[in-house]
Amino acid sequence: MRTDTGRIIHLADYRPTDFVLERVDLTFELDPTETKVEARLIFHRREGADPSAPLVLDGDDLNMTGLMFDQVELAAERYTATPESLTIRDLPETAPFEITVTTQINPEANTQLMGLYRSNGIYCTQCEAEGFRRITYFPDRPDVLAVYTVNIIADKDTNPLLLSNGNFLGGAGYGPGKHFAAWFDPHPKPSYLFALVAGDLGVVEDTFTTMSGREVALKIYVEHGKEARAAYAMDALKRSMKWDEEVFGREYDLDIFMIVAVSDFNMGAMENKGLNIFNDKYVLADPETATDQDYANIEAIIAHEYFHNWTGNRITCRDWFQLCLKEGLTVYRDHEFSADQRSRPVKRIAEVRHLRSEQFPEDAGPLAHPVRPTAYREINNFYTTTVYEKGSEVTRMIATILGRDGFKKGMDLYFERHDGEAATVEDFVKSFEDANGRDLKQFSLWYNQAGTPQITVSSSYDAAAKTLTLSLEQMIPATPGQSNKEPMHIPLRFALIGANGGEQAPTSVTGGEVSGDVLHLTERSQTVVFSGIASRPVVSLNRSFSAPVTLHFSQTTDDLALIARFETDLFSRWQAITDLALPNLTAAAGAAAKGKPISCDKGLLDALLAIAADESLEPAFRAQALTLPSESDIARELGSNNDPDAIHAGRQGILKEIAVAGAATFEALYKGLVSDAAYSPDAASAGRRSLRNAALGFLALSENTPVAAAEAFAKADNMTDLSQALTVLAHRFPDSPETHAALASFETRFASNALVLDKWFQIQATIPGDGSLDRIMRLMQSPNFIASNPNRVRALIGTFAFGNPTGFNRADGTAYRFFAEQVLAIDKRNPQLAARLLTAMRSWRLLEPTRADHAREALMTIERSASLSNDVRDIVDRTLK
């Protein structure tokens, strides 16, 4: 375990290495517990570097068994080796030299899943961010790019497959029972993109012909017997390759592209050059076992990792502070891909929901950091929604400001200038500036200032002058280490909508730059006057969520209802519904806290039911409109002193009113949207299922028996409907015999499918109420709870902490104490997983005082623990600060 040194790394301290790495030759002799790694590294001293500087290589928990300099054993006085570093002195001033290091590692004992480990008998690696140093001593930083040759030797019977990055060079027998394979990757890469896989796996094969006519072999490796479940991933891969050619002009650059699915993985997937390694959850799917959401996730993540080949691999990051350079950009690319493959507005709504529920709380709490941080103690803790999702939004704003063509020109220049390099955020922004002749200096503050901008807006219409005046003010809240913020450049798309629903175009605008439908807010406060507006318009602001901000714009119910009815931007229609719903939900929480009756505005009911029944709208959109803001959305709206029980009760009360008022509509939807066609995961079919299942949820609320839900469970012929019906049963009727029977039959039917069992755990982990904790503890005793499997731990403990507000925030604090014990136990085997789970407590200060005290106590138990990983130490310290 990487122990805590308290050391903070600063962006300002960046400097290049003293030595340039020319070539890397690796030889692995694989063994479950005693793998031998020989690394031959050719270096030369960088021009201008200190001629007496030693070579310092990174290590983590390493055991060195040999060290040679130019093929000769190195004298002990010339080096110092510890598990964490190798320092070699008295090196040539200019001549290249070769260092050969041998280490011995134990993949079987590697429970952190960083470096080389074994998952279900498969050897695999995970090197981002700093896992390569757990394999051999190395300048393990992203600005050290080299060409790699990799030789793998292993038992032939158990490891018929030997894979690494790049192109296959050849292989042969290697003594009794063994064989070897050699791989060569011609593209210089940093160590975090290295990968090796060995074992016995099934394969799905296909080919892709690139735009210049080269044929690329595509291979997806999965456990034997699961090949059929990789078909959708293969299809998504081919569509991704095509899309990147068409939209970004990017062609694949090796003869082979491989994906390997493993069942123990800390993250979603990893973009290793030519050899992506995936959490099998994002590869395997068939109608019987995967939901529509699973299919959509697979499509998005396959695309994401593939897109990294250009944004991340061909152009990588100079240092880990630049992480958003590859992640924010690549998320933007996968969002655009999914929008093109599916419904753009529905995709946008889902993205914004995710951003608001995950990134906004991060940005408003103790873990807030800029999209490009300037200091870190543990880089693993910076793979955050801020770097990824807000980073994507920042890229999207560049596209909004420059327009489609301007954005394309900037991207092309970026690829042209920096291909083969380790670049910075400045390089990226400069490409857009230079390609468009536009100054993005103020815009760059988005990379440096944390916190979600709060924009206060008011509007007034002057009928005599025919002008509309918009007054806007921006405020960026203080965040850890940043108290005073500069005003930012915020591009707000807008529309002025007339009473009949038509858009009104101004004859002229003063008070700020307006180009097309984009209003550029750049001052702390700004007054924009639109002239030539014939009648009072309704202002629709931040269309398509053009900027990741919170708007404070008190619009009347009538105005919001008009937007909900007439906006041509479907995102804004959904937003108007949300804006109509939120005050009802917060008022309901207040009423519930005081034991008063809950009531829902008729305006909201009418708008919702009209959308639900509107056949001219796509079903997926209608389902989104019917999915009201979540309990955590309501908590965020309330701000502080939160009582999760009251929020839950209030929200349920509103849902019940909608269910009763709309019973006939929901009945009609539920009956009318049955499909006899064979299951297809396409977006339109998925949309119909989501609307039908939303209707089922409302029906279960207005009915007092589980009969309808039990029947839906019995009749379901695909995993989407089955898991939805089970969720409705378990959440609405947790103690009914029907629910017990359904849970038992689901468990038996899918006993051999880990990914489906994860759903079984998840559904139960989110059953609300005080009984949750006992249920979680009971489920942990189940033989199916496997503590070494990150997916399983996340499904049960993670889902409970992140997705069950009433259960997790029990007023007596027992769930926090339980959670602290779990985090400490998990930290012993897998610090990254433990640290990520612990971020579930980041909003503890917004709870009412009794719960907040209990939460602080639980956090302090963790903080007082004598042996914490660097990962958990970093999160707990920042969370308590």
195 interacts with ligand PHE by CB under 6 A? no
**Contact status: 271 vs ligand PHE (CB under 6 A):** yes
- DSSP letter string over 497-544? E-TTS-B---SEEESS-EETTEEEE-SSEEEEEEE---SPPEEEESGG
Question: Could you tell me the smallest distance in angstroms from the CB atom of residue 267 to ligand PHE?
Answer: 4
Q: What is the DSSP letter of 598?
A: P
Judge whether 348 and 545 are in contact, CB under 8 Å: yes
- Whether residue 840 contacts residue 818, with contact meaning beta carbons closer than 8 Å, is answered with no
128 touching ligand PHE, by CB under 6 A: yes
305 binds ligand PHE (CB under 6 A): yes
Q: Using the rule CB under 6 A, is 378 a contact of ligand PHE?
A: no
281 makes contact with ligand PHE (CB under 6 A) = no
Subset of residues 657 to 686 that bind Zn ion, contact rule: CB under 5 A = none
Q: Identify which of 507, 489, 492 has the alpha carbon closest to the alpha carbon of residue 441.
A: 489
Q: Does 38 bind ligand PHE (CB under 6 A)?
A: no
DSSP lists the bridge partners of residue 458 as: 471
Smallest distance from Zn ion to CB 274, Å: 16
Which of these is catalytic: 38, 305, 389, 657? 305
Work out how close the CB of 334 gets to ligand PHE at its nearest, in angstroms, rounded to a whole number. Answer: 9
Closer CB to ligand PHE, residue 132 or residue 698?
A: 132
Output 330 or 385, the one with its CB closest to Zn ion.
330
Q: How many residues sit in the footprint of ligand PHE (CB under 6 A)?
A: 12
327 interacts with ligand PHE by CB under 6 A: yes
Active site residue 305: yes
- Order of strands across the sheet that contains 85-88: 55-58, 85-88, 79-82
Buried b (16+ CB within 10 A) or exposed e, 552-564: ebebeeebbbbbb
- Of 292 and 327, nearer to Zn ion (C-beta) is 327
Helix (H) or strand (E) holding 739: helix 737-749
248: tokens are 């970004």
* Interaction between residue 126 and ligand PHE (CB under 6 A): yes
Q: Where are the beta strands (DSSP E) in 361-489?
A: 375-376, 422-423, 454-462, 467-475
Q: In the set 86, 261, 270, 837, which binds ligand PHE (CB under 6 A)?
A: 270
Number of residues that bind Zn ion (CB under 5 A): 2
Q: Are 482 and 450 in contact (CB under 8 A)?
A: yes
Residues 311-330 that bind Zn ion (CB under 5 A): 327, 330
> In whole angstroms, what is the distance from residue 401 CA to residue 518 CA?
8
Residue 220 CB, shortest distance to ligand PHE, in Å, is 17
Q: What distance in Å separates the CA atoms of residue 400 and residue 446, rounded to the nearest whole number?
A: 14
Measured from the CB of residue 9, what is the shortest distance to ligand PHE in angstroms?
17
Nearer to ligand PHE, 310 or 785 (CB): 310
580 binds, among ligand PHE, Zn ion, none (CB under 5 to 8 A by kind): none
Reference 626, options 567, 711, 693; nearest CA is 693
Comparing CB distances to Zn ion, the nearer of 387 and 859 is: 387
Select 126 or 642, whichever has its Cβ closest to ligand PHE.
126
Q: Please, which residue, 270 or 709, has the CB nearer to ligand PHE?
A: 270
Measure Cα distances from 554 to 120, 175, 571, 573, 740 in Å.
56, 77, 19, 16, 47
Residue 270 contact, options Zn ion, ligand PHE, none, Cβ 5-8 Å cut-off depending on partner type: ligand PHE
Q: Which stretch binds ligand PHE (CB under 6 A): 53-61, 301-309, 341-349, 535-543?
A: 301-309
Q: How far is the CB of 107 from ligand PHE (least distance, A)?
A: 17
Say whether residue 383 binds ligand PHE (CB under 6 A).
Answer: yes
Helices (H), 525-601: 557-566, 570-593
Interface positions, 306-325, toward ligand PHE (CB under 6 A): 308
Minimum gap (Å) between residue 293 Cβ and ligand PHE: 19
Q: In what order do the strands lie in the sheet with 122-126?
A: 115-119, 122-126, 196-199, 161-164
Using CB under 6 A as the binding rule, whether residue 304 contacts ligand PHE is answered as yes
Omega into 683 within 30° of 0, i.e. cis?
no
Identify which of residues 383 and 545 has a Cβ nearer to ligand PHE in the complex. Answer: 383
423: β partners: 317
- Selected range binding ligand PHE among 266-274, 347-355, 462-470, 705-713, rule: CB under 6 A: 266-274
CA distances from 615 to 620, 638, 667 (A): 11, 35, 15
Q: Catalytic residue numbers?
A: 305
Name the residues that contact ligand PHE, by CB under 6 A: 126, 128-129, 267, 269-271, 304-305, 308, 327, 383
Residues that bind Zn ion (CB under 5 A): 327, 330
